[in-house]
Amino acid sequence: MFETYEILVMAMLGSFIALIFTGFPVAWILAGLAVVFSCVGIIGYEYLDWDTYYMTNWRIYGTFVQRIYAQMSNWVLVALPMFIFMGLMLERSGVAEKLMVNFVRLFGRFRGGLGVSVILIGILFAASTGIVGASVVLLAMLSMPVMLQQNYSKSFASGIVASSGTLGILIPPSIMLIIMADQLSLSVGNLFMGALMPGLMLGFLYIAYVISSAFLNPKSCELPTDLPPVTWGLIKETLLAVLPPLGLILAVLGSIFLGIVSPTEAAGVGALGATLLAIVNKRFSFEMLADVCRRTTVTTAFVFGIFLGATAFAVVLRTLGGDEFISEMLQSIPLSAAGIVIVILLITFVAGFFLDWLEISLILLPLVGPVVVELGFDLVWFVILFALALQTSFLTPPVGFSLFYLKGVAPPNVTTLDIYKGVIPFILIQLLAVSLVFYFPDIVLWLPQSMYGN
């Protein structure tokens, strides 16, 4: 028989899942449920003599104010708008266009070379921006017409673009990792270093799949016939095109990893660097700056709106005994500690079909993180594992955002079915990467331990 607080926790979580399908804004759903269930708890505590240990009282509304103020004054989260600005400015700077032109001229002559070029640019762009939407849209606009012109199959080209764009959520500087670090009070630098090797590994797994597919199924990507010969001049131009984003990556990540600046300060360096690249490439204008600032404000407001709703939701859920309920439920599963972690990852993977990464990071991660620590696992390793599993949410229908971004800018002859078929192999590769990190934790832990010790 369930206790009263357990019924309320299940009702609160069930209501959230049900209301998601109404299409109502998530931030309002979270905040509204927080108010409703706090009122239910207060009524039960004051008038119905429910279990007073877990029930809430009127002081919870003061807690809302304190938590929201703490979120908005959090120094770590100041990095979010600056990294968003950096990504949007870099999108308009002309760097990606130069990379695409030179990579296609150099690598496009090989079977599968166009696909490899897109993934390499996706890796560079991921390490420069950390924003999936900007990466997918830019890669699609630059590469889809070229790949289709070279007779790449529509599904193959779609899968390459959508998956390459999602690397931005894992390879640092990633706004997802900043939010996860804040939720579990971890070092952003440690998470950035822990995510670097898995992110690069995933990118190179994509490249291995594209090359093997090109040779096993030559019809999916035919060889181009109109490329100029390779010359030292072409190699020089390609290297010069790589240097600006590479310099920005080193300035941002290098300064964090070497302990020169904090992630928040590094975000400011990145925003300035992206602006300078736009000026150097003669793409900068005050109209463009105003547009980037407007889009940065809208994106930041969206993120923080969900932040505030999730904060209120989490306060009520925990006050009702949600932490204890989730912990008891998971630890009652008749599996080993590793088996419980696998169950958590499966829940994360399935939740990604219906929920955005932000809601999962703000609601599920804080509930399961303490359980993982109790089971004796390293929290940095688990967060990166969780982030890898969560990355699939960008590619899995019906709410895979990369699929929507791609469909919005893809040529008209590319159908939704083409995109769905194209991403399936890359979802399987992402699950392979999750398995590798699960069985070989040093993929995550080696770099942080080498830099900072145990």
| CA atoms of 299 and 264, how far apart (whole Å) | 18
| CA atoms of 218 and 112, how far apart (whole Å) | 9
CA neighbours within 13 Å on the CB side: how many for 103? 25
| CA atoms of 397 and 395, how far apart (whole Å) | 7
Cα separations (Å) of 137 from 66, 88, 162, 426?
38, 11, 9, 18
| CA atoms of 338 and 333, how far apart (whole Å) | 11
Please list the pLDDT of the chain residue by residue as tens digits (454 residues): 567 767 888 888 888 888 887 878 888 888 899 888 888 877 776 666 665 445 556 666 777 777 778 777 777 788 888 888 888 888 788 887 788 777 777 777 778 888 888 898 888 888 776 677 777 877 888 888 888 887 888 899 899 999 988 888 888 888 889 889 988 888 888 999 999 999 999 999 999 999 998 888 877 776 766 666 777 877 888 888 888 888 888 888 888 888 888 888 888 888 899 899 899 888 889 999 999 999 889 888 888 888 888 888 888 888 887 778 888 888 888 889 999 999 999 999 988 887 778 888 888 898 899 899 998 999 999 999 999 998 888 888 776 778 888 888 888 888 888 888 999 999 999 999 999 999 999 999 998 888 776 5
106 and 234 in contact (C-beta within 8 Å)?
yes
Cα separations (Å) of 147 from 51, 224, 265?
63, 10, 39
364 and 348 in contact (C-beta within 8 Å)?
yes
| CA atoms of 453 and 447, how far apart (whole Å) | 9
Which amino acid appears at position 112 of this protein? G
Cis peptide before 412 (omega within 30 of 0): no
**Structure tokens, 242:** 């790589």
pLDDT digits (tens, 9 = 90+) for 258-287: 888 888 888 888 889 989 989 988 888 999
308 and 64 in contact (C-beta within 8 Å)?
no
**Structure tokens, 228:** 């100029």
Could you give the 3-state DSSP secondary structure of residue 99? helix
CA neighbours within 13 Å on the CB side: how many for 117? 28
pLDDT digits (tens, 9 = 90+) for 215-247: 888 777 767 666 667 778 778 888 888 888 888
